[in-house]
Structure 1
Amino acid sequence: MNKKIRIVSLCVVIVILIVILKITLNNELSSIEDFQAYIDRFGIAGPFFLTIFQAFQVVVPVLPGYLGCAAGAVAFGTEIGFICNYIGISAGSIISYFLARRYGLNIVNLMFSEKTYNKWRKKIEKSKSYERFLFIATLLPLFPDDFLCYFSGLIKMDRRKFIWIIILGKPWCILAYSILFGMIK
């Protein structure tokens, strides 16, 4: 199969998954409590499902990341919620990076609007050190981490640097969310 056919096939599969996920989640999830109840349906496999969900929601950004972090901490407590969220979000971040390296701007345009791409590209171009910018962005809540993971793959940032930034930068914000939302339980 040639490269264009593979890209189109991947895009079609991703679009179908996004549509199915959006329909399912939009009909069932409108709050942290709804998401928690959704996860609780999986019983003992709930933490595993949360981890997979968190990875997926980074790769296919359909919900804000804090929603999963909140649900995980409320459903499973601060510690287990943190572990599931950290592993899932980190794995999804790394997968997004490699997808962008493999499929380039085509996949980024599928996941994000041109406006979002141009807005962040301009801000990033102004930064003196992209690696430093990325590390700080992973530390802060409400930053477009999902986009930055894809963007890092587009610019072909060194994979080892990227993975270390994710491993060292991601846990702090996730831990803060886990502690904060763990208090709700």
Structure 2
Amino acid sequence: MPRPRRLFRTHDTKRSALVAALALAATGLLLAFLVTRVDVLATPAAVERFVRGFGVLAPLAFVLLQAVQVVAAPIPGQVLAFVAGYLFGPVWGTVYGVTGATIGSYVAFSLARRFGRPYVERVLHDDALGWLDAFSHDHGLLALFCVFLIPGLPDDVVCFVAGLTDLDVKKMTAVAALGRTPGFFAAAYAGSNAAHGRYDTALVVLAALAAVALGAWIYRERIRDALTA
């Protein structure tokens, strides 16, 4: 008789990983609080100045900032993806952006997995939990991939919701990285073109992303229902 799947794991290595994730989350939440107070990252130009201020450590600062964005969400993810391309080019901008977002996703998954539904209900709006059904079936990982792939869907919020399921955290983290990569590359590509003065190309790419994001947001409930069908 197969053993039932457990929602929480108690291996020492996973405990250590969770402690590290919680430490990152605490640091990120503190930074996010300071950011909202001083209004330092309100625009792409402000983000650029902030990251450049770290000099040779700018890539590391950006990765951590992207991770914070996923957990605390004080900064629109599209802004950071665009700035990543502006600062580091389309390839490295995508690498740094996806790396940071993946770290943040792992933290969000782990926080929800550790503290459960009461914690998630405190940090999210009630309607966000409607996405839980999308990840409660055999196609949960595919549904999660679609959420990260389509710009405009609440992917950061979904990280906390998906953490309440029995899906494997490592697999969810990998899916988050793969799903976000196309959108992050597109935004970074636009940022890189803007950095080189090719504003027409940048605007076309941004307009396409905005159109997809707007459509996904308007029809988010229909998309959610389709993912649970």
Return the TM-score normalized by structure 2.
0.66
1:102 maps to which residue?
A: 114
The answer for unaligned runs of 5 or more in structure 2 is 1-22, 196-229
- Which has the larger Rg? 2
Q: Which has the higher contact order (CA 8 A, sep 6+)?
A: 1
Asked if structure 2 preserves the Cα contact closer than 8 Å seen for 1:61 and 1:111, the reply is no
Are the counterparts in 2 of residues 97 and 152 from structure 1 also a CA contact under 8 Å?
yes
RMSD: 2.6
When residues 127 and 155 of structure 1 are mapped into structure 2, their CA distance, relative to the original with a 3 A threshold, is closer
1-structure distance, mates of 2:66, 2:35: 13
Equivalent in 103, 118, 142 of residue 132 of structure 1: 142
Find the residue that maps to 1:69 and give its secondary structure: helix
Equivalence for 1:93: 105
Identical residues among aligned pairs (%): 23
Letter in 2 for 1:21: V
**How many angstroms does 1:49 deviate by?**
0.2
What does the per-residue CA deviation read over 1:5-35, in whole Å, with 9 as the maximum and x for residues that have no partner? xxxxx999886554323113xx223321121
- How far, CA to CA, are the matches of 1:12 and 1:110 in structure 2? 16
Equivalences for residues 154-165 of structure 1 within 5 A: 154-165=164-175
Looking at structure 1, the residues matched to 188 and 144 of structure 2 have their Cα atoms a distance apart, in angstroms, of: 22
Unpaired runs of at least 5, structure 1: 1-9
Q: Please tell me whether the aligned partners of residues 32 and 68 of structure 2 are also in contact (alpha carbons under 8 angstroms).
A: no
Alignment match, 1:3? none
Find the residue that maps to 2:73 and give its secondary structure.
Answer: coil
Match of 2:45 in 1: 33
- Asked if residue 23 in structure 1 is aligned to residue 37 in structure 2, the reply is yes
Which segments of structure 1 move beyond 6 Å, counting only runs of 4 or more? 10-15, 125-128
How many residues are matched? 172
Partner Cα distance (1:157, 1:131) in 2: 8
2:123 matches 1:111: yes
